[in-house]
Structure 1
Amino acid sequence: MADWSNLPTELLGLIALHLLSVLDIIRFRAIFSRVTLSSSSSKGWLIKHDAELIDKTFRLLSPLSRFPFRLFRCRKINLLKFNVTEIHPTYIVQKQRKKQADKRFIRAVVEGRNDRLVVICCDRKVRYWNGEMWTRFEDQVGELCDLIVHQGMTYALDSRGIIWWISPARGIFRYGPALNDDIAKSCSWRDRSLVGGSCGDLYIVDRIVEGNRREMNFATFSFFSKVIRDDVGNTPLEREEGGFYPRTLGFKVYKIDDDSCQWEEVKSLGGNAFVMATDTRFSVVASEYYGCLENSIYFTDEHKRAKDYEIKVFKLDDGSITTMSGYYQDCFQMFFPNRRWNVVV
């Protein structure tokens, strides 16, 4: 085998430039788990953890973001005292040499049946990794804004509120009706998400934010330009907005009505609560977690400094929002296991 160290410096520089491709991108996985005391499994806590790419150790992450959770110092969990059940995995696309998310991709999941990485890129198109390069799906229409793996199937949501079933082996197919025009136009694509219910239902969740993203003066934002390389060629990305961090005013939830086969606004989640993290969204049964409020949505608003965020809860029944003011505040106990039990992975 040739010794690359003997190559001319100029040639090594050219090689390095060509290495800055999609091959530098790898999967990064975080896991939401339910932790309960072995002596009593009726209620538990929701924790988020990931595996370090280098030493393969686990670290606890902030409940609704991707950043390390520094509240506890212990780094072990005694499985004789606690039961740990995986609830929901989440993925982001990350540079291999830099531990940061790649902003060319806004959503990432692993396709349930074939374990393939599927992403929505900043051009609003969905692609999957075939082992060598990003591959486009044929017959894509509309701007896609969210991805979800629900009951082993992969679904995408577009800006019109149409759900699409995605299969790297078969393609992309429409699944269900569109939102009516008034609902579809009431929310920016960036503020619309898919959430899988505990009973198998799919929900569309609109985040109502302060101001209107569509009417913002884009001259005040910062932008970057990137190129996505896939099986078709190089796709230059348009400007991506940044620097605008709106405050959430509330949420609206929609579900397909069985009788009319149309999307209808949901006034109650029953005994469930939605968790809207920065990289995933899912449903939990409120009674299974300490302090968790049923018929509510837990979320956070992004700030200028990414590590500065506050956990909040929106109550669907009265439209009120409560912001966490203390780690032991009742309605936020589900995210903060008691320190004296050293519940840290």
Structure 2
Amino acid sequence: MSTMNEEDNKKKESVEWLALPKELWPLISKRLTTTVDLLHFRSTCSTWHSSTPSSPTATTTTAFPLLPPPPDSNIKLTLFETRLYRIHHPSSSSSKGWIILLSHNDSFPLRIFDPFTNLPLSLSHTNPPPFVSPSHLNLLNFNLLDLLQSHSLHHHTHEFQPFMPLPETHKAILFPSLTSSVDSRKVFALYNHGKLHVLKIGDHNWTILDDANCFDDMIVHNGQLYVVDKVGTISWVDSETLKLVQFSPMLCGLGKKKRLVECGGWLYVVDMYIEGEPDSPWDMYWEVVDVKVHRLDEEWGRWLDVKDLGGYAFVLGKMFTFSLLAQDYYGCEPNSLYFFSAKRASSFTLNDSRFKLPNRFWPCPSLFQRKFNL
């Protein structure tokens, strides 16, 4: 009897989505926040496909007006969003996946980007995959997991392609996130050799925070914005008062570039020893020659040297950093760091302190198919 009741309850709880009133389908599609979500919605059935526009327009970049020029510039800017996904083919016998970085705006419906340089894949590789046109990008046959989003500042003039980032900008973060009210959102940008700039959406001028200091990186951790300066001191930013509050002791790292990474609920600083000038535009030559990893012990307020990432790998992209559980991704090795060096992707293994060319753990080769069309 109990089994029959359970089956009856399941039938009552099931929803016949195709039986929904037709006027609800466009309303549902308009609430999808990413292009990929909209593409999957349209691919569910012919009825849902016909109820939405043929050219997907789900994007957060169009929700923002043009941003005013930063100091010492007369070029208006646009906030450009990219999203990092984990992709997995459902027919694969392995549970491993790939990572892929996608972006969408009015000029380019869907493009794949290099997570190390934040450039379109076709521009960032000497030998790119053969079919990198958006019309040959096959996503519908994959399961996708949205890992994180990042933002960057881009030129908005006829002289520059709209997907070209400002070379002087090290990083940009929209804070708080898109789930917060528009009035409270601010754009934080490391610009002009690490000066921390902030712009409230709707304002006409940027403000420089702590003009006496320069910063290497920033990250959102546990809902709070953190920055790290040239000597490795982490501070958090009060988004209301725009005051910086010291959060860690001075690291006194001797490397030229500090990167912040969150992994397992902890904050890490990767100290990169570099020959050349890492704050130069992305097309200038510089090379990483050594790497040190430190974890902040927040309870005792001290730095700990790290020799083992516990099965994780760190990816240090130009516009964002993230950690991966290596066993979940093809070609990704544990206890390794991946970054851009000497105009190419490189990896550094903490086990033996060796540099090498990384295995390709992105993008999935079968994404590109001549016969597929969005």
Q: TM-score, normalised by structure 2?
A: 0.66
CA contact (8 A) 2:168 2:280 kept: no
Distance in 2 of aligned mates of 1:340 and 1:50: 15
Hey, what's the Cα distance between the residues in 1 that align with 2:246 and 2:323? Answer: 21
SS at match of 1:27: strand
Change (3 A) 1:162 1:134: farther
Task: Report the equivalent of 1:36.
Answer: 88
Counterparts of 1:171-210 in structure 2 under 5 Å?
A: 171-181=242-252, 183=253, 186-188=254-256, 191-197=257-263, 199-210=264-275
Q: Which amino acid aligns with 1:319?
A: S
Quick one: percent identity of the two aligned structures?
24
- What is aligned with 1:89? 149
Change (3 A) 1:138 1:35: closer
**Which residue of 46, 69, 76 corresponds with 2:137?**
76
1:312–1:156 distance in 2 versus 1, CA, 3 Å: same
Is 1:339 paired with 2:366?
yes
Q: 2:231 aligns with which of 145, 151, 160?
A: 160
Alpha-carbon displacement from aligned partner over 1:134-193 (angstroms, at most 9, x marks no partner): 342665653222111223321111122111212432323324222344x3xx122xx111
CA RMSD across the alignment: 3.0
Q: Secondary structure of the equivalent of 2:152? A: strand
- Contact 2:138/2:367 (<8 A) preserved: no
Structure 2 runs not aligned, ≥5 long: 1-71, 123-128, 178-183
Q: Which has the higher contact order (CA 8 A, sep 6+)?
A: 1
- Structure 1 residues 250 and 187 mapped into 2: Cα distance closer, same or farther (>3 Å)? closer
TM-score by length of 1: 0.71
Equivalent residue in structure 2 for 1:105, among 164, 169, 174: 169
Q: Structure 1: how far apart are the matches of 2:233 and 2:295?
A: 12
Query: 1:146 corresponds to which residue?
Result: 217
Q: 1:244 to 1:48 in 2, by over 3 A?
A: closer
Which of 100, 110, 125 in structure 2 is aligned with 1:47? 100
Would the alpha carbon gap of residues 53 and 167 (structure 1) be closer, same or farther in structure 2, given more than 3 Å must change?
farther
Distance in 2 between residues matched to 1:340 and 1:28, nearest whole Å:
23
Unaligned runs of 5+ in 1: 1-19, 215-239, 304-309, 325-330
Q: Report how far residue 111 of structure 1 moved.
A: 1.0
Bigger-Rg structure (1/2): 2
- The letter for the 1-side match of 2:145 is T
Q: Distance in 2 between matches of 1:30 and 1:296?
A: 24
CA contact (8 A) 1:192 1:207 kept: yes
Deviation at 1:245, TM superposition (A): 2.0
Number of aligned positions between the proteins: 279
Whichever residue aligns with residue 300 of structure 1, its letter is: F
1:128 is aligned to: 198
